[in-house]
Amino acid sequence: MKSRLITAALMSLATASAFAAGSGDHSHDELRIGRAGKPAEVTRTIDIVMMETDDGKMVFEPATFTVRQGETLKLSFVNQGEVDHEFVMDGHEAILEHKELMERFPEMEHDDPNAIRLQPGGKGEIVWTFATAGEFSFGCLIPGHYESGMKGDIAVVQN
């Protein structure tokens, strides 16, 4: 019994490590939502603010945006909050799965092209090509942040 628990814990840890670190072959680069884009192909920039509000909510501004299928955007981030925040975008189910993993392993670090984590006052960007039409989600998956309102939607529309 004890060895099965240890094996299960190690397998969970290995899964979390692989999920958090990505892989050298960039297997996380091609997601249903798209792939890392090339800066030379950027057609526009969306500025996204991460912050806490006076009433205790945590938010992204804007919380929704629409892009055209095949469009390459620069998502430019600034954390105007007082705590770390992150932005992870993917399909809604994948976001919820990643959120659950973050709850189990809150110290996970990400090195995925569809995510960024910023300290208070930090700035950063993601260049992304939105390859597939559909409805997608984003959120801050640091435990408690998503539940505090730090989530949003991306509509990728066909040309």
Q: CATH number of the domain that 15 lies in?
A: 2.60.40.420
Structure token digits, residue 58: 């945590």
Tell me the residue range of the domain where 138 lies: 2-157
Domains in the chain: how many in total? 1
Give this prediction's pTM. Answer: 0.79
- Does the pLDDT value for residue 21 go beyond 60? no
* CA pair distance 54, 43, nearest whole angstrom: 35
pLDDT of residue 107: 76
pLDDT of residue 81: 97
- CB neighbours (10 Å) of residue 148? 15
* Under 8 Å between Cβ of 30 and 112: no
* Under 8 Å between Cβ of 35 and 64: no
Q: What is the DSSP string of 8-39?
A: HHHHHHHHHHHHHH--TT-GGGEETTEEEPPG
* CA pair distance 51, 70, nearest whole angstrom: 29
**What is the DSSP code (8-state) at residue 141?**
-
- Kindly indicate the confidence band of residue 17, based on its pLDDT and cuts at 50, 70 and 90: very low
pLDDT of residue 105: 85
Q: Report strand pairing: 64-68 vs 151-157.
A: parallel
Q: Which amino acid is at 45?
A: T
* Under 8 Å between Cβ of 140 and 118: no
Torsion angles phi and psi, residue 74, rounded to 5: -105, 120
pLDDT single digits (tens) 99-115: 998 898 877 777 799 99
Cis peptide preceding 113, ω within 30 of 0: no
* CA pair distance 151, 140, nearest whole angstrom: 6
